[in-house]
Amino acid sequence: MSSRSSAPTGLLVAAAGAAGVLASLWLPWYLIRLPQAFRDALGSLGGGQVQPGVAPTSPGAALGNALGGVMKGLAAALPTEITGNGWQVMHGGDVALAIIAGAALLVALAVGGGLSGVNIELGAAGRFVAALGAAAVAIAIYHVISRPGMGAGALSAAVSVKYGIWVAVLGGVAMIAGGLMVGRATTPATATATGFAPPVPPMGVGGPSSSTPWDSAASAPPPGVPGGTF
């Protein structure tokens, strides 16, 4: 594949990666498993057990029994697992990824001719898209390392990474690869113009015979002039 023909392929790869980064924000990034101990603790809030057939002895006891019933119902209704997408679990990182993906898509459209009146040099566009992809990968990897609840004991162990983060990472890697392909498509104009120019032979070697006037110093004397003198 020639360097010039790699530019359209690079644009497609970079645009697909940017679209993947943007789509990852709607995919699950984290999974939180609620421990049974948390559900039991929530169900025990609100006072003691409600004794069937026994009337409460005070308004406070009646309120406690009612609150306990509500908490037990809430604990029973809680799911065992909760997922959060990129928009829900990141604080500012979601906006940054959306801006990165949008900028890369705009550059790909401009270089590909989709935006009339906008002309961007291939090398600069490729480097810019590759830098955006590296930023997207860095943000996603940071959220792999720094999960919600890190250092919070049981909550930290209950949080696991879902596939949405890895979609963002792969999208960023595709943006880097596509940007490098676009940047590699540029070649110096001088190398193209003179790279295959034939060598110029030295003057008088291999060239056509000259038609210079007769040289009296280097040639034989003309006929009728003995020794070339009068």
In this predicted model, what pLDDT tens digit does every residue of 29-44 receive, in sequence order? 999 877 665 556 655 6
Low-confidence ranges of the chain (pLDDT < 50): 1-3, 50, 54, 189-196, 207, 209-210, 214, 216, 230
Q: What is the pLDDT of residue 196?
A: 47
As annotated, the residues of the chain forming the CATH 1.20.140 domain(s) are 6-34+82-187
Give me the architecture of the 6-34+82-187 domain, per CATH: Up-down Bundle (1.20)
Distance CA 28, CA 31 (A): 7
φ, ψ (nearest 5 deg) of residue 32: -115, 120
Distance CA 94, CA 100 (A): 10
Classify 144 as helix, strand or coil: helix
- What is the token pair recorded at 10? 């690079």
In this predicted model, what pLDDT tens digit does every residue of 83-114 receive, in sequence order? 889 999 888 899 999 999 999 999 988 887 65
φ, ψ (nearest 5 deg) of residue 160: -125, 155
Q: Is 38 exposed, middle or buried (0-12, 13-18, 19+ CB in 10 A)?
A: middle
Distance CA 165, CA 146 (A): 12
Stretch (H or E) spanning 85: strand 81-85
Q: What is the pLDDT of residue 201?
A: 58
